[in-house]
Amino acid sequence: LLVTVPQKNMPFSVLNKSRLSLIASAVTRSFATTTRYPLPPSVRIVEVGPRDGLQNEKRFVETEIKIQLINRLSEAGLKTIEATSFVSPKWVPQMADNTKVLKGITKHTGRSYPVLTPNLKGFKDAVASGATEVAVFSAASETFSKRNTNTTIQKSLENCVEVIKAARAENVRVRGYVSCVLGCPYEGYIDPESVAHVAKTLYDAGCYEISLGDTIGIGTPGSCIAMLKRVKRDLPTDALAVHFHDTYGQALVNIMVSLQEGISVVDSSVAGLGGCPYAKGATGNVATEDVVYMLQGLGIDVGVDLHALIDAGNFISNALGRSNSSRAATALTAKAGLRGASSSCM
């Protein structure tokens, strides 16, 4: 749909009028020709807060706090919770307690607690610590890949395939992430062809599911639909998930159009925790509380107790010394407080 190619390293701010016109035309055609699926009866939420949400916190979060957070999220009904990351503590010191966290949480039947393993060493350490599901990642942007992992897209995919092969031998499930699917902080526009190539490579190698991540939260419904349409030509819809950051306030509407495109797996982070150290200005992941509030309002089953989820979000926000970034959590917490004050005055 969108086949214009930007000049190398062209920032978003200098897109010319003709290019903007082409984008607008492509978006219009995308909406006009998209086959709308009925909304899914249920959606599986992949909670990434304990890993993606906390990994960039400058102050070390105590291990017991991380364990309590994961246990609270489990008790709220979330079935997939990304627990930690097995990376070098030199690069991500916040995840240095990965083994203690993974061994310390209460594992519920019917729940999964995947961990991020960027290389073979991380995978071996994770399995030794009891991991039964792992995640690998690559990017659709060459520059971002080099800045984030100091390697090319091709090399990062080779590393992923190495982990996937090892996981298959150990009967460990693997989920794949693709970063920068709707834009890059360095390259700007990302061609959906690149996204499809990376996603297909991971899927063909053995990932059971591919999460498509808008790392800097730049995407809109139009660019989201165009990207999904292209990826779905190569991968089955039920093997795809979406992962949106909310930098431009577009995350929920992007999730909505993704549902209309047949997607039924959504990544999110409790209390809107997260960000990206390699993407200046990128805010946190879409808040799980906001996603659950919206989905429940649509009559979609998510299997999550919203009030217990809000309690978990408030717990970690208090531990970090900041307010909960979820709008739904903030509003419902205030509402509950007003009710309490009203009752006490009667």
Token pair belonging to 323: 């307010």
Mapped onto helix, strand or coil, the DSSP state of residue 83 is coil
Token pair of 324 as six digits:
């909960």
Q: Tokens 């165009």 map to which residue?
A: 226
- Judge contact between 210 and 245, C-beta under 8 A: no
Residues 6+ apart with CB under 8 A from 196: 230, 231, 233, 234, 235
From the candidates 160, 184, 207, 276, which is the catalytic residue? 276
The candidate with the shortest Cα–Cα distance to 194, out of 256, 144, 251, 128, is 144
Supply the Cα-derived Rg of the chain in whole angstroms.
20
Q: Which of 193, 263, 291 is nearest to 38 (CA)?
A: 263
Encoded tokens for 38: 């009925």
Active site residue 276: yes
Residue 168 corresponds to which tokens in the numbers above?
A: 């298959």
Can you list the alpha helix ranges (DSSP code H) found in 170-220? 192-205
Q: Which residues form the catalytic set?
A: 276
